Structure formats: C-alpha cells, structure tokens
Amino acid sequence: MKLPSADWTERRGLAALIAALDGKARFVGGAVRDTLLGIAVKDVDIATPLLPEDVIERLASVSIKVVPTGIDHGTVTAVLPDGPVEITTLRRDVSTDGRRATVAFSDDWQEDAARRDFTINALSADPETLEIHDYFGVLEDLEQRRIRFIGSAAERIAEDHLRIMRYFRFLARFGLHELDTDAFQACVDAAPKLERLSRERVADELLKLLATNDPRFAVGKMLEGRIFEHIIAGTDKLAGPILDRLVRREQVHGIPPGAIRRLVALLPKAAEQAETIAKSLKLSKKQQRALGERLPAQPEEMTQPTAILFRGENDIRALAYRTGVDAARDIALLFADDDALTDLLARLNGWQPPAFPMSGGDLIERGLKPGPIVARTLASIEQAWIDNGFPDKKWLAEYVDGLDFSLQT
C-alpha cells in the first residue's frame, strides 16, 4: 500500500532534505497516520539509520539549517521554509524507569517501530515511492479506529507511565468507543504510578485530552477506572453527566471545544478547592485565573437557577463585563438552565463589553472631595450603569448630576 498524495509532502525544502539523506530516511509517526485517516498534517517527522552528526553534516552541505534539539536522544530539527522537520536516528531502548529512557542507536527499522507506544504510530513510508511499511497490522487498526499498544500494554506503560494518559487521549481522538480490555486494565493497574510524574506533563496530556472533539467516552472510562484519583485531588460526583451535558451543548450551539471549560466540568464546583487542584497541576497563572472565573466561590451558589446569578450579577452581559465574554459564555454552557441557555448565548453573540466612560477625576471635577470616597462612589456609579444595561454618556451624566455629593462620606 502507498501513502496517498498530500500537500505536506510538497513542502518547500523537503525534497532537498530527503535527497541529502541519500535514501536513508522514511516519514514516520503522525504524518503517515493522519494522512491515511484524511486528517490535516501539522508536524512532519523523519527517521533515519544515519547518526545525528552525519545528518547535520549532510544537511549543512545543502544549506539547510539544523538545530540539535535532542541530539543525545538522536533528534535534530531541520528548519525549512514551511516549518520544522524533526529527524531522529533509529533507536532501541536500553533501560527505562517509567519517566525517561536510555537509548542506543540502531539501524533496524522494525526494532525502532517496536519501541513506539501504539500501533497506529508505528507506520513508516518511503519518501520517494510512498510505499508504507507496516510491521504490526497497523493498517487494520487504522481502518477499525482501534487503539492498541504494541506488544504488551503493561510493558509499554512500564517504559513510560505517561502512556496511560496518551492512551485515553488517542482513544478520544481516534477511537470509535471501542475499548481494548487489556490496555484498559493495564492503565488501571499502573495508574498510581502517574503520581511519580511531573504535574506539568500530566496536566499537558489532560488538557490535550479535554481539547479533543468528544472526550466523553475516554473520560468516562477514566472515571470508571478511578484513574483521576491519581491525577487530581477530587472530581465532581457528577463529573460524567456534567461533561456529557456540556459537550452536547457545545455541539448544538456550534461552540469549539475548550479544555479549561471541560476541566471545570470535572472539578468540584468551588473556586477555592479548584484553585488548589489547579496549582497542584502546575497550571499557568492564566489557566488558573480562567478556571477561577468559571467557578462559584462556594458550592452552595450552585443552587442559583441560572448562570447569570454568578457573582451577584443579574444579566449575562453584566457577568461578561466582569469576567470577559468567553468566561461568561462558558459559565452559561456549564450551569445555565436548558430553557435559558439559548437566549443567554444569543445575548453574548457578537457583543463586546463597553468601557466605563467615567473616571475618579470626573467626580472630583463635579465637587467630590479627593480621598477613598472617590473610588467607592465611582464603583457605585459603575454598578448602576451596569444594572441599567450600559447606557450612553448622556444617561450617565444625568445620573451623576442627580447625586448629592455633599452626602457622600
């Protein structure tokens, strides 16, 4: 079988790179897999029996810039006009501890393919003939959308514990809700070892999983296998149903997946507890802030009938003014009643919060004495402006003119 023609094989500089490697190269990994699945290819990876130093010398001879991104593990990156290409020397594992591997270089294509995680990542293709090399029945797995470890699932996971997370991410992205029972059990058995990994690596895989088009089946299996217990300190008791409702709402209203939004669905619904979990995952400050914006301060606030009552506001646009439109939309998707959701989203569609057209200096010019009272009065005026639907400057001026600053203390 041959690889179908694809635009990425015509990227500028790629032919010269292949020629410089003198036939000792193959396309590998995701580029081959995604082309066969009809998915757009982002990253191009090449494998070669040539040593990294030889690759660098050959590419330099044809004026291709090379960066030694992971040269100790056999990887260098060629900088091409249409994007970087990683070139990795064939390898075999010498030893592994579940977090990192010690490798030795090889000239055996099948041995290199065997050290990959899943069969669907083990295909390679000749750049000149596009002939596909399949050592593990991968083409049938691709056709069936079956996610299967190469060889023993337990052994592959023992080599790198993060493969537990990758299994469920690949199940969500490529699978058809068909679980490999051996793989699932191996993931469940090894789940406690996720606690040994850096939180950043685990969080990165978790967010990638949640960003897939529909992670519900994969996440449901993780909940069933109690795998989240070794990732985060607590999930919502109704995490599965909440995520299910959220994804259905996203699909109905044409809203793209949002990893943070979906993480909120899984977490306990109290900002303080979720903040602790976010910090434990080493999420960025921006991600932690986004998480907090989408959660009530206390769980009892969840008894409010619709999302617009979050933060004490009485309108979805008022909420959006405080949190931003994206956060307000996510809050509605997560917590609003079914009857209210469509109207709430419609009020946010195409709307941007206006700037409050008044400053403390304006109040001082109108006779308010400088001091802390200025900030308090300005906040009160701003709230009235919000409550009245962000009226124009004329309304604001008339409202302020009606205030008696002599009573302000």
256/109 same-domain check:
no
Report how far residue 324's alpha carbon sits from residue 304's, in angstroms, rounded to the nearest whole number. 21
Helix axes 285-293, 271-280, angle to 10 degrees: 160
In the predicted model, what is the mean pLDDT of residues 55-73? 94
Q: What is the CA radius of gyration of the chain?
A: 28
Instruction: Specify the range with the lowest mean pLDDT, choosing from 96-110, 189-203, 277-291, 329-343.
Output: 96-110
Give how far Cα 239 sits from Cα of 263, 334, 362, 381, 401, Å: 9, 11, 49, 40, 51
Cβ neighbour number for residue 53 with a 10 Å cutoff: 12
Arithmetic mean of pLDDT, 334-341: 90
pLDDT at 348 over 90: yes
Are both 324 and 402 inside the same structural domain?
no
Look at residue 354 and tell me whether its pLDDT is greater than 70.
yes
Compute the mean pLDDT over every residue in the chain, rounded to the nearest whole number: 91
Show the tokens assigned to 319. 């909420």
Task: Determine which of 82-96, 130-144, 301-315, 336-350 has the lowest per-residue pLDDT on average.
Answer: 301-315
Task: Verify that 149 and 294 share a domain, yes or no.
Answer: yes
Q: pLDDT value at position 403? A: 87
Judge if 259 and 240 occupy the same domain: yes
Judged against a pLDDT cut of 70, whether residue 329 lies above it is answered with yes
Q: Which of 141, 165, 181 is the last residue of a domain?
A: 141
Domain of 37, CATH number, reads 3.30.460.10
* Residue 234: predicted pLDDT: 86
Task: In whole angstroms, give the CA distance from residue 4 to residue 305.
Answer: 53
Do 279 and 310 belong to one domain?
A: no
Considering the domain architecture, whether residues 263 and 314 belong to the same structural domain is answered as no
Secondary structure of residue 122 in the 3-state scheme: coil
pLDDT digits (tens, 9 = 90+) for 172-229: 999 988 899 999 999 999 999 999 999 999 999 999 999 999 999 999 999 999 999 9
Residue 307: the pLDDT is 47
Residue 269 or residue 343, greater confidence: 343
Distance (Å) of CA 367 to CA 130, 361, 363, 380: 80, 10, 7, 17
Pair (106, 232) in one structural domain:
no
Mean pLDDT of all residues in 283-295:
92
Residues 108 and 167 in one domain: no
Ranking 178-182, 298-302, 365-369, 373-377 by mean pLDDT, the lowest is 298-302
Task: Round to whole Å and give the CA distance between 295 and 306.
Answer: 13
Angle, vertex CA 149, rays to CA 162 and CA 119, nearest 5: 115
SS3 63: coil
d(CA 287, CA 201): 15
Q: Do 91 and 205 belong to one domain? A: no
Residue 12: is its pLDDT beyond 80? yes
Crossing angle of helices 199-210 and 163-174, rounded to 10°: 10
How high is the pLDDT of residue 404? Answer: 80
Q: CB count, 10 Å around CB of 243?
A: 23
DSSP character at residue 54: H
Give the whole-angstrom CA distance, residue 335 versus residue 205.
26
Query: 66 and 184 in one domain?
Result: no
Give the percent of the chain with pLDDT over 70: 93
Residue where a domain stops, chosen among 141, 173, 188: 141
Q: What's the sign of the alpha-carbon dihedral 368, 372, 375, 381?
A: negative
Lowest-confidence range among 148-152, 233-237, 345-349, 360-364? 233-237
Domain endpoint, select from 110, 141, 172? 141
CA distance 195 to 380: 48
Question: Quick one: which H or E segment has residue 68?
Answer: strand 65-70
Looking at the fold, whether 156 and 176 belong to one and the same domain comes out as yes
Question: What is the reported pLDDT for 300?
Answer: 52
Q: What is the DSSP letter of 40?
A: P
Which DSSP string corresponds to 321-377?
HHH-HHHHHHHHHHHS-HHHHHHHHHHHTT--PPPP---HHHHHHTTPPSSHHHHHH
Q: Which pLDDT band holds residue 274 (cuts at 50, 70, 90)?
A: confident
Q: Which range of residues forms the domain containing residue 211?
A: 145-303
Q: How confident is the model at residue 57 (pLDDT cuts 50, 70, 90)?
A: very high
pLDDT digits (tens, 9 = 90+) for 195-206: 999 999 999 999
On whether both 136 and 158 belong to a single domain, the answer is no
Judging by beta carbons within 10 Å of its beta carbon (0-12, 13-18, 19+), is residue 409 exposed, middle or buried? Answer: exposed
Q: Which pLDDT score, from 0 to 100, does residue 271 have?
A: 77
> pTM of this prediction?
0.88
DSSP assignment of 244-280 equals HHHHHHHHHHTPPP-HHHHHHHHS-S-HHHHHHHHHH
What local confidence, expressed as pLDDT, does residue 367 receive? 87
* Domain total of the chain: 4
